[in-house]
Amino acid sequence: MPQANPDACLQDTRLYALMSAEIEEKLRRALPLFTDHFPHITGTAQQGLTYQPEENTLWTTSFFPGMAYLAYDRTGDEAFLAHAEDYLASFRHRLTHRLHISHDLGFLYTLSSVALYKLTGNEDAKALAQQAADMLAERYNEKGRFIQAWGEVGVGDPYVKIIVDTMLNLPLLFWSANPRHHEMAVAHANTCADYLVRADYSSFHTYLMDPATGKAVEGRTHQGFHDDTTWARGQAWVVYGFALAYAYTKEPRFLEVAQKSAAVFLQNLPADHVPYWDFTFTDAVPDVRDTSAASIFTCGLLELEKWSTPALAESYQHAVWQMVRSLYDHYFLHDPDRLCVLTDGIYHRNTGSTGTIWGDYFFYETLVRLQKSWNLFW
Ligand code: GLY
């Protein structure tokens, strides 16, 4: 294993620095292009793997500011903060006018605002993130002890949904240091463990919930292959989300869910260590991959490593090393003029194989975590 040999370890550290520098060059060139409009997914390889600036309406708009803040954190270069006020203005407008509000407030305001506050002490960013946390708390269903993912709060058709992705929205509630928010986040994580995580630690993407009684009804998928299969990115949200929930609460159940779900993810990796988009697919029955699931998962393993036994931590480090090497060797776009870092991500199966800004963000977060003791943005 690379960690056992100091020379190999040094080589890996140099390699991670080189990979990071390649990403930072892409970011330097992209900074002026995305100031109040943001990247989401690229076109396919045939269409050129280029991000277009999109309005601030999607769940993904904070990942580009998040990458700029990771770059500032790694390099100390203030050029990466040049558009911080533009990003804040855009995210303030979205929140003030309640535009496109869902459970994704966590993704949106953790990376656009909490990260900036943690790095620079910007009080406006802190206040905006607190408002976003309050708005996220409005989505809590007391009877069912869950945060509603999408749609008008309490209005079902006839049911509302909880989804595994919400696990990455909980850190905003933990960060806000409001005891009521903390309780809601813990309750939601337990509900997620009760229903979205199956007995074998694979996962449903979504679960139908009765908004009036709070009763759990049935597991369903939204972006996976089938209701009963495991969507790779969903499993990655489970692993990283429960690892973070454990970091904030030290609740043993959350660590157990994260570790056992990580084992399922590792068991379903194909020979090149980058998962197919749903665990139904294998090297014997292949389909397209999801590099974004891989990079979310490597962040999850690096968080889990902190809380695991030395033997388990070493196995996680080795898995991360194999995955990062494969992502860099086979799926890294070496073109400084194109922001896209990883090819072969997937949003919905029907959008095809593309770059994804969240896959790029989490790959870069993985590299930063590998090079320094990283103060969580989450
Ligand atoms: N949170 C949406 C997704 O993972 O596609």
Ligand 1 pocket, mutate which of 147, 168, 233 (most atoms under 8 A from CB): 233
The finding on whether 321 has its CB within 6 A of some atom of ligand 1 is no
* 290 touches ligand 1 (CB under 6 Å): no
- Confirm or reject: Cβ of 63 under 6 Å from ligand 1: no
Task: Measure the CA–CA gap between 72 and 81, rounded to whole angstroms.
Answer: 7
Phi and psi, residue 157, nearest 5°: -135, 50
Structure-token pair, residue 187: 């309750």
CA 226 to ligand 1 centroid distance, Å: 16
Distance from the CA of 11 to the center of ligand 1, in angstroms? 34
165 lines ligand 1 (CB under 6 A): yes
User: In the beta sheet, which residues pair with residue 276?
Assistant: 289
The whole-angstrom separation of Cα 19 and Cα 345 is 18
Please tell me the distance between residue 321's alpha carbon and the centre of ligand 1 in angstroms: 25
Q: How far apart are CA 284 and CA 341, in angstroms?
A: 28
Q: Would you write out the chain's pLDDT as a tens digit for each of its 378 residues?
A: 444 576 777 778 899 999 999 999 999 999 999 999 999 999 999 999 999 999 999 999 999 999 999 999 999 999 999 999 999 999 999 999 999 999 999 999 999 999 999 999 999 999 999 999 999 999 999 999 999 999 999 999 999 999 999 999 999 999 999 999 999 999 999 999 999 999 999 999 999 999 999 999 999 999 999 999 999 999 999 999 999 999 999 999 999 999 999 999 999 999 999 999 999 999 999 999 999 999 999 999 999 999 999 999 999 999 999 999 999 999 999 999 999 999 999 999 999 999 999 999 999 999 999 999 999 999
The residue contributing the CA closest to ligand 1 atom 5 is 347
**Residue 201 Cα, ligand 1 centroid: separation in angstroms?**
20
What DSSP assignment string belongs to 59-102? TTTTHHHHHHHHHHHHH--GGGGTTHHHHHHHHHHHHHTT-S-S
Whether residue 233 has its Cβ less than 6 Å from ligand 1: yes
Return the active site residues: 104, 165
Nearest to 316 by CA among 308, 242, 233: 308
- Structural domains of the chain, with CATH: 6-371 (1.50.10.10)
Both tokens assigned to 195: 């229903």
